[in-house]
């Protein structure tokens, strides 16, 4: 039995793009997450149903490979599959293709189910996971954890705004990505292209929090390390690989 795949199309519009003419990676992750929500709806295991049991899906890590970021007027196909799961973790694969079937972006993500009251991870209930027809495995994937920033090349501070919180009462994904990348100079962002990103979520941030975004740039290897903190708390870590735009 192989897991169920789900696909949907999306027309990229101007306000989803930034000054580079492409969709920001944070917005693209939003779009991929939307595909997974839509699959859950189709299979009858909606967020609302899960919320009624006091539970909620939480992403702990995304590993992203970027061939090309879509541009305005691209009609992209977002595909997702809940590939496998073990007692606590569900592994999902995502794919973004352009209208000619060229692969633009791939993403591998780790989901857990959280008891919203106790803020603790729970064992995946059979009736919630079965509809996806994901493969059960005892194996826990050992994914590379992003390393923390050691030598700070840049730092910016942000305050979590009212509009940053979505209807699920979480700071929307896109803001973590924006805080991380905005800590780099515009000169760097205009002249380099993101090719890989490994992002790991540790601890949620909340409305009104003062957050710090630190970045370490290795100019030789064109890699960056990113860290989001609130006081002593590490909230989110990432490593990125870049390529110079000719």
Name, in order, each residue with C-beta under 8 angstroms of 146's C-beta and a sequence gap of 6 or more: 198, 199, 200, 225, 226, 237, 238, 239
Considering the rule CB under 8 A, would residue 123 count as an interface residue with its own copies? no
Q: Per rule CB under 8 A, is residue 21 in the interface with its own copies? A: yes
> Which one among 1, 2, 19, 246 touches its own copies, defined by CB under 8 A?
19
Nearest to 131 by CA among 195, 39, 233: 39
| Shortest spacing between CB 87 and its own copies, in angstroms | 28
Which of the ranges 57-65, 130-138, 170-178, 215-223 carries the binding residues for its own copies, by CB under 8 A?
Answer: 170-178
CB-based burial label for 109 (10 Å; 0-12, 13-18, 19+): buried
Helices (H) and strands (E) in the chain, counts: 5, 12
User: For residue 141, what are the CA distances in angstroms to 91, 145, 232?
Assistant: 9, 11, 28
The answer to whether residue 72 forms part of the interface with its own copies (CB under 8 A) is: yes
Among 44, 127, 139, 162, interactor with its own copies by CB under 8 A: 162
DSSP 8-state secondary structure symbol assigned to residue 127: H
**What is the total count of residues that contact its own copies (CB under 8 A)?**
36
CB of 121 to its own copies, least distance (A): 22
By CB atoms closer than 10 A (0-12, 13-18, 19+), residue 57 is buried
Compute the least distance from the CB of residue 126 to its own copies, in Å: 26
Which tokens in the block code for residue 16? 């989803």
Q: Does 34 bind its own copies (CB under 8 A)?
A: yes
CB of 136 to its own copies, least distance (A): 29
Nearer to its own copies, 138 or 162 (CB): 162
Told to check if 36 binds its own copies by CB under 8 A, we report no
Residue 52 found at the interface with its own copies (CB under 8 A): no
The residue from 117, 167, 220, 221 that contacts its own copies (CB under 8 A) is 167
Near its own copies in 171-230, by CB under 8 A:
172-174, 178, 181-182, 184, 186, 189, 207-208
| Rounded (5°) CA angle 49-54-55 | 75
> What is the smallest separation between the CB atom of 49 and its own copies, expressed in angstroms?
15
* 116 close to 54: Cβ distance less than 8 angstroms: yes
Query: Which residues does 138 contact at the CB level (< 8 Å), separation at least 6?
Result: 86
Residue numbers at the binding site for its own copies (CB under 8 A): 13-15, 17-21, 24, 26, 30, 33-34, 37, 72, 156, 159, 161-163, 165-169, 172-174, 178, 181-182, 184, 186, 189, 207-208
């Amino acid at each position: 039995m192989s897991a169920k795949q789900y696909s949907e199309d999306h027309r990229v519009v101007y306000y989803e793009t930034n000054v580079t003419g492409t969709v920001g990676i944070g917005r693209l992750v939003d779009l991929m997450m939307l595909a997974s929500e839509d699959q859950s709806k189709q299979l009858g295991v909606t967020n609302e149903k899960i919320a009624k049991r006091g539970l909620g899906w939480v992403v702990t890590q995304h590993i992203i490979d970027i061939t090309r970021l879509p541009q305005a007027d691209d009609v992209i196909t977002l595909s997702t599959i809940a590939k496998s799961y073990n007692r606590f973790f569900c592994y999902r694969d995502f794919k973004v293709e352009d209208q000619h079937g060229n692969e633009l972006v791939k993403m591998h993500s780790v989901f857990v189910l959280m008891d919203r009251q106790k803020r603790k991870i729970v064992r995946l209930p059979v009736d919630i996971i079965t509809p996806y027809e994901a493969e059960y495995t005892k194996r826990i994937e050992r994914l590379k954890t992003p390393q923390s920033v050691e030598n700070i090349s840049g730092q910016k501070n942000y305050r979590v705004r009212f509009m940053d919180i979505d209807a699920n009462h979480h700071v929307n994904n896109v803001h973590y990505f924006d805080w991380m990348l905005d800590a780099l100079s515009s000169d760097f962002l205009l002249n380099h292209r993101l090719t890989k990103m490994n992002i790991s979520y540790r601890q949620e941030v909340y409305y009104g929090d003062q957050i710090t975004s630190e970045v370490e740039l290795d100019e030789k290897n064109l890699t960056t390390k990113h860290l989001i903190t609130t006081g002593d708390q590490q909230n989110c870590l990432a490593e990125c690989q870049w390529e110079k735009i000719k």
